[in-house]
Amino acid sequence: AAGQGDLPPEIWEKVKNHPCYSEQAHHHFARMHVAVAPACNIQCNYCNRKYDCANESRPGVVSEKLTPEQAARKVIAVASTIPQMTVLGIAGPGDALANPAKTFKTFELVTATAPDIKLCLSTNGLMLPDYVEQIAAMNVDHVTITINMIDPEIGAQIYPWIFYNHRRFTGVEASKILSERQLLGLEMLTARGILVKVNSVMIPGINDRHLIEVNKAVKSRGAFLHNIMPLISEPEHGTVFGLEGRRGPSAQELKALQDDCEGEMNMMRHCRQCRADAVGLLGEDRSAEFTTDKVMEME
């Protein structure tokens, strides 16, 4: 991830306090996710809907779902307990932009009471072009898009369906729409100076070599950082829908792919695949200290 290097000052300003965008910042600054976005508008084969969105997060324990009001109270409680908390992200447990009313209401409430907290959201990108104006208007500085392919034939092995314009699309057609919307959304964000991180889930035998093409495509459209994450297949968490028996990559395979992409653009190598309700420094999870009950006691 990025160091100050020769970054323009206005970019460095946006990067230096964000633990995911700056390798140095992740030792000093904390982020929190609030789980206000339960619904999703696509199906990823690696997602088990019983858990948090695998775009950003490790399948694990289902997050406590919050209303925007509960989420805003939690943010204020965390910010007064953990002074290094600089970033609020909405990363599921479904898709932030499949729940736009909840996502934007949360941002609005937090900005009203804690204007210094930086806002961040994660999305599969399907609805992104429709919300770029609102994202810019709310001063959201950072957006993560999960892009696993640019070739709809490969996409068809990852996404069985999407729900778009009031109907369900399947197969290659679904992935073609998804890919066009993801890349358009990326271009629209970077044109407005919003920093974009692209997450990709490395699925051996499906998109592993293809992610080099994805890397080139997102770099040429202005993505700031590329974060290639391993598929996590944990049989104890239930069947990974549609990818039964598929293994995740080894640490060496992941590193080799990241090395092959390095040089093209900044690669993130310190992602912890946090839960949709993670709180604290990366690699640390203090979410249990800030359940709704405990937040109420703190007030």
Beta carbon nearer to ligand SF4, 47 or 194: 47
147 binds ligand SF4 (CB under 6 A): no
Site string for ligand SF4, 223-242 (x = CB under 6 A): ----x---------------
In the complex, the smallest distance separating the C-beta of residue 272 from ligand SF4, rounded to whole angstroms, is 4
35 binds ligand SF4 (CB under 6 A): no
Angle in degrees, 0-180, between the axes of helices 128-137 and 100-113, rounded to the nearest 10: 10
C-alpha span between 252 and 206 (Å, rounded) = 17
Report 70-89 residues binding ligand SF4 (CB under 6 A). Answer: 89
Number of other residues whose CB lies within 10 A of the CB of residue 208: 18
Beta carbon nearer to ligand SF4, 82 or 297: 82
Total residues contacting ligand SF4 by CB under 6 A comes to 22
189 binds ligand SF4 (CB under 6 A): no
Q: How far is CA 146 from CA 44, 168, 214, 234, in A?
A: 11, 20, 11, 20
Question: Which one of 282, 287, 290, 295 is in contact with ligand SF4 (CB under 6 A)?
Answer: 282
Paired tokens of 18: 């964000």
3-state class percentages of the chain: helix first, strand second, coil last, to nearest 5? 35, 20, 45
Nearest 5°: the CA angle 50, 56, 59 is 30
Amino acid, res. 188: M
Beta carbon nearer to ligand SF4, 77 or 228: 228
18 binds ligand SF4 (CB under 6 A): no
The interface region with ligand SF4, picked from 43-51, 150-158, 215-223, 251-259 by CB under 6 A, is 43-51
List the 279-280 sheet strands across, edge first. Answer: 266-267, 225-230, 195-202, 140-146, 118-123, 85-90, 30-33, 279-280
Paired tokens of 291: 């359940």
195 binds ligand SF4 (CB under 6 A): no
User: What residue has token string 């932030």?
Assistant: 96
Q: Which residues pair with 230 in a beta bridge?
A: 202
DSSP label at 120?
E
271 binds ligand SF4 (CB under 6 A): yes
In the complex, the smallest distance separating the C-beta of residue 220 from ligand SF4, rounded to whole angstroms, is 22
Q: Are 157 and 171 in contact (CB under 8 A)?
A: no
The interface region with ligand SF4, picked from 108-116, 128-136, 231-239, 265-273 by CB under 6 A, is 265-273
Question: Which one of 2, 15, 42, 261 is in contact with ligand SF4 (CB under 6 A)?
Answer: 42
Report 109-138 residues binding ligand SF4 (CB under 6 A). Answer: 124
In the complex, the smallest distance separating the C-beta of residue 296 from ligand SF4, rounded to whole angstroms, is 26
Question: Which one of 32, 66, 73, 95 is in contact with ligand SF4 (CB under 6 A)?
Answer: 95
17 binds ligand SF4 (CB under 6 A): no
Question: Which one of 17, 32, 34, 55 is in contact with ligand SF4 (CB under 6 A)?
Answer: 55
3-state secondary structure of 286: coil
Q: Which residues pair with 30 in a beta bridge?
A: 85
C-alpha span between 175 and 162 (Å, rounded) = 8
Which stretches of the chain bind ligand SF4, using CB under 6 A? 20, 31, 40, 42-44, 47, 53-56, 89, 92, 94-95, 124, 227, 271-274, 282
